[in-house]
Structure 1
Amino acid sequence: MLGSAATLVLGVLAFFELGLPWMARELAPLVPPAMERTVSDQALALLDATHLKPSGLPAEKREALQLRFHEITRGLPRADGLRLDFRHAPALGPNAFVLPDGQVVMTDQLVELAADEDELLAVLAHEAGHHEHRHGMRRALESSAVVVVAGFLFGDLSGTGSLSVSIPVLLLESGFSRKHEREADAFAFELLERNGISPEAFARVMEKLSAGRGGEAGVVGYLSTHPPSPERIEAARRAASD
């Protein structure tokens, strides 16, 4: 009996540590674009109602950043879905995140914190990495495993509405996993260098964000506490020196 119980516990742990991430990785590319848009629209509507306000940045500033973002992401496999929007978010402070359909939201507070455009593009390159790797949808599928994963397996997608609830919670509380953050960071460093921008810009903006949080990373996207900011800053500087 003890052996059976131990086997059951190990099996459950293996499923959540290995099985769920694998299933989410395999299922995420199968999610139709229309469903990604619906889930993202619902998630952003919830965030707009609770944490976000219309941007107060000058239209010229927003348009210039949107143009540069389009320029550095042109040619990416999932570039067609990427677009940049802005929100005023006193409660969240300097932050940015990307929704599963590719909409990137950057707060006015982050734009004001950054010293230059390169620092903002470094953050945006990181968010593009999350989009290219489908991290948002994968995390949402993992968190909604009981309803959503079973629905995909048995052909009943009626429960996928829970994704629109899962995504804001993930963005505001748990961020991404260590592996996802490292993947997005590595993607960003390569994308920046291809566009003539040093990854040092990522290190600089991360230092500002970490200092603003009293040494702690924030809660959204690249501000996740996984991995710690010093490790990510060091990785950016290594990439810049290579």
Structure 2
Amino acid sequence: MRHPASKPVSPAEINALPALMPRSERTRGGRLLGRLTGDRLSRTHRWLLTLLGVALLLTALSHPIERLLGGMIASRIPSSWVYSGSIQSLQRLDAASLAPSQLPEAVQMQIRSRFAALRMPTSNAPLYELVFRRSDRLGPISFALAGGQIVVTDAFVAQHPSEEDLMNALTLQLGHLQHRHALRAITDHSLLSMVRYLVSDDASNGIRLISQEQPVLQHDEHCVAEARSFAEEVMRLNPPPNLALNASGQHVADSLSN
């Protein structure tokens, strides 16, 4: 049996083919195509939504993870590195922005004595040292270095007219020390470098990193909230009547004005 010879099909004939199909076949085919396309799009959407969810989760967890790693590394840094690096930071600040304090020695001793007499909410309160400086450039500020130095300017003391106000302000810096905020800021910013120096026991570069990356007034809201919570707890343990007057019955601000 001879088969009919094939012949080319023109574009007009191809376009006319769907119209020649029975209506039921066209409808059934369209439904099938739509269902397959819809399933394919649904799977694509699900993958996209899954990827988006994972990305959002990683973004939300990145900062807490960084905080956790930074805190772990900060706890491994030798205290000698931290203290030496902070001393170098203070020396650099003394050369650029700070000058010797003009507060009378008696006033400085009184503030140190009152601050040392505060009851702490925990037995592992941080070691600290009050460092008085004058600064026309920085004005009334106080800040804590990682090594325990709490720098207080003359203008900051004058800005807090009662011992209660002054103690409250200084305990905020003690709260930063309690939570190791300065050191954690250093490890957060230069985590890989600090890990490398710790692994190689490179003290000189570790100290240099601490001295150069030392934050002064750059704590985020989370750190400020932690420090404020610690300060409030300290002040609850130390009622205002125990802080109000110095030995001669005068406020600190009165002593400064004499």
- Equivalent residue letter for 1:111: V
Q: Does the CA-based 8 Å contact 1:94-1:108 persist in structure 2?
A: yes
Q: Does the CA-based 8 Å contact 2:132-2:151 persist in structure 1?
A: yes
- Equivalent residue letter for 1:58: P
Q: Does the CA-based 8 Å contact 1:70-1:83 persist in structure 2?
A: no
Larger gyration radius, structure 1 or structure 2: 2
Q: Classify 1:71/1:82 alpha carbon distance in 2 versus 1 (closer, same or farther; 3 Å).
A: same
Q: Classify 1:80/1:12 alpha carbon distance in 2 versus 1 (closer, same or farther; 3 Å).
A: closer
What is the deviation of 1:20? 1.9
Pick from 106, 127, 130 the counterpart of residue 60 of structure 1.
Answer: 106
- Equivalent residue letter for 2:107: K
- Taking structure 2 as the reference length, the TM-score comes to 0.66
Moved over 6 A (4+): 5-12
RMSD: 2.9
The equivalent residue for 2:234 is 191
Distance 1:10 1:148 in 2: 29
1:90 matched to 2:136: yes
Q: Classify 1:16/1:92 alpha carbon distance in 2 versus 1 (closer, same or farther; 3 Å).
A: farther
The equivalent residue for 1:71 is 117
Q: Does the CA-based 8 Å contact 2:121-2:237 persist in structure 1?
A: no
Q: Does the CA-based 8 Å contact 1:140-1:166 persist in structure 2?
A: yes
Name the % identity.
28
1:146 matched to 2:192: yes
Equivalent runs, 1:155-174 vs 2, <5 Å: 155-157=200-202, 159-160=205-206, 161-167=208-214, 170-172=215-217
- Taking structure 1 as the reference length, the TM-score comes to 0.70
What is the deviation of 1:18? 2.8
The equivalent residue for 1:179 is 222
Pick from 145, 157, 168 the counterpart of residue 111 of structure 1.
Answer: 157
1:31 matched to 2:74: no
Deviations 1:127-155 (A, max 9, x none): 11111111110011111223113444x44
Deviations 1:132-180 (A, max 9, x none): 111110011111223113444x44545422121111xx215xx111111
Which consecutive unaligned segments of at least 5 residues does structure 1 have?
Answer: 202-242
Q: Classify 1:117/1:43 alpha carbon distance in 2 versus 1 (closer, same or farther; 3 Å).
A: same
SS at match of 2:130: strand
Q: Classify 1:45/1:85 alpha carbon distance in 2 versus 1 (closer, same or farther; 3 Å).
A: same
Which consecutive unaligned segments of at least 5 residues does structure 2 have?
Answer: 1-47, 245-258
- Equivalent residue letter for 2:191: A
The equivalent residue for 2:7 is none
The equivalent residue for 1:17 is 63
**Number of equivalent positions:** 193
Q: Classify 1:17/1:119 alpha carbon distance in 2 versus 1 (closer, same or farther; 3 Å).
A: same
Distance 1:16 1:84 in 2: 36
Q: Does the CA-based 8 Å contact 2:126-2:178 persist in structure 1?
A: no
* Structure having greater relative contact order (Cα 8 Å, sep ≥ 6): 2
Distance 1:108 1:117 in 2: 14
SS at match of 1:136: helix
